[in-house]
């Protein structure tokens, strides 16, 4: 998870903070307008030895919003209901209510400053949310020096998701698929009251992006272990 390094980014030093920030803010694409992707989710709680996984087909477009269909799953039923399905239903609600703008990396939501982090190949930008919100991250952006493409976000959620969750550290990774800038992976570590440390990981495998066929992901076989009934 995120670890601070007290050194200035060499790439950011070459062009300067203001130039890198302008390139990042001027990028034109915020992700695919339409897509179909298989998401693979995994979560584990070490204290109770509970774990679960789920493969889910997800689709999104401006006309129909966000939809999902569980393709395969296994492990703790409690984690699948309270973590995986809760996250998917929350995302569906955000689309329905037009709330994704709350999370956009813009001056409306964040203050951008030059800070002390380093990455061998990327420019680092410090971000501070302008309000407490579970969709906003207090931490760092790592972007490509030449075009401002976002590669990674690291940090802590600016607001805890619930009373029971005391701290959430998160890493989000991005890349290009079919020419579109898209999320590729999300990892988080949460400190949960009573339950302790809990980890979550979700990866995206795209089938179509903006009407273009880009891959053929396949769900894993469904599990038949007794815990999947709990």
Contacts of 44 (CB under 8 A, 6+ apart): 50, 51, 198, 199
Distance CA 198, CA 49 (A): 10
Asked whether residue 83 carries a pLDDT value surpassing 70, the answer given is yes
Give the model's confidence band at 215: pLDDT under 50 very low, under 70 low, under 90 confident, else very high. very high
The confidence score (pLDDT) of residue 7 equals: 41
End-to-end CA distance of the chain: 30
Residue-wise pLDDT for 100-110, tens only, equals 677 889 999 99
- Does pTM top 0.75 for this prediction? yes
Average pLDDT, whole number, for the chain? 85
Give me the helices (H) in the chain, please.
Answer: 10-15, 17-25, 77-79, 86-96
Do residues 189 and 162 make contact, with C-beta atoms less than 8 angstroms apart? no
Distance CA 31, CA 175 (A): 10
Give the C-alpha distances (Å, rounded to integers) separating 167 from 43, 93, 189, 212. Answer: 16, 23, 8, 39
Give the C-alpha distances (Å, rounded to integers) separating 56 from 38, 47, 87, 147. Answer: 6, 27, 12, 32
Percent of the chain clearing pLDDT 90 (strictly above): 59
Classify residue 37 by its DSSP letter. E
Residue-wise pLDDT for 109-118, tens only, equals 999 998 776 6
The confidence score (pLDDT) of residue 6 equals: 35
Residue-wise pLDDT for 32-63, tens only, equals 779 999 999 999 998 888 999 999 999 999 88
Q: Where are the domains of the chain?
A: 31-103+175-215
Q: Point out the least confidently predicted range of 8-12, 87-91, 141-145.
A: 8-12
Over range 108-134, report the average pLDDT: 87
Asked whether residue 3 carries a pLDDT value surpassing 80, the answer given is no
């Amino acid at each position: 998870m995120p670890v601070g390094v007290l050194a200035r980014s060499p790439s950011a030093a070459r062009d300067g903070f203001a130039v890198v920030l302008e390139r990042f803010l001027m990028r034109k694409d915020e992700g695919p307008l339409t897509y179909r992707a298989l998401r693979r989710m995994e979560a584990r709680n070490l204290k109770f030895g509970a774990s679960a996984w789920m493969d889910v087909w997800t689709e999104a477009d401006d006309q129909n919003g966000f939809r999902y269909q569980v393709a395969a799953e296994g492990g703790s039923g409690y984690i699948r209901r309270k973590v995986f399905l809760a996250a998917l239903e929350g995302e569906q609600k955000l689309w329905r209510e037009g709330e994704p703008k709350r999370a956009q990396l813009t001056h409306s939501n964040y203050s951008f400053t030059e800070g002390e982090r380093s990455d061998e190949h990327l420019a680092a930008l410090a971000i501070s949310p302008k309000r407490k919100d579970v969709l906003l991250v207090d931490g760092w952006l790592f972007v490509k020096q030449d075009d401002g493409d976002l590669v990674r976000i690291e940090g802590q959620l600016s607001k805890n998701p619930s009373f029971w969750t005391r701290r959430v550290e998160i890493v989000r990774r991005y890349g290009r698929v079919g020419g579109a800038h898209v999320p590729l992976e999300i990892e988080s570590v949460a400190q949960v009251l009573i339950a302790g440390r809990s980890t979550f990981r979700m990866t995206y495998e795209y089938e179509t992006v903006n009407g273009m066929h880009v891959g053929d992901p396949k769900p894993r076989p469904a599990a038949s272990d007794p815990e999947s009934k709990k």
